[in-house]
Amino acid sequence: MVTVRLFGMTKMLAGNQGALSLALPDGRRVKDLVAVIEAAYPKIGELLQKKKVLVSVNQDIAHEDLEVRDGDEIALLPPFAGGNS
Tell me which residues touch another protein (CB under 8 A). Answer: 5, 7-9, 12, 52, 56, 59, 75, 77-85
Return all residues near 66 (Cβ < 8 A) that are at least 6 apart: 29, 30, 57
CB of 79 to another protein, least distance (A): 5
CB of 67 to another protein, least distance (A): 20
- Nearer to another protein by Cβ, of 18 and 25: the residue is 18
- Nearer to another protein by Cβ, of 21 and 59: the residue is 59
* Sheet containing strand 2-6, strands side by side: 19-22, 2-6, 74-77, 54-57, 60-61
- Nearer to another protein by Cβ, of 25 and 82: the residue is 82
Report the alpha-carbon distance of residue 56 to residue 74 in Å, rounded: 6
CB of 65 to another protein, least distance (A): 21
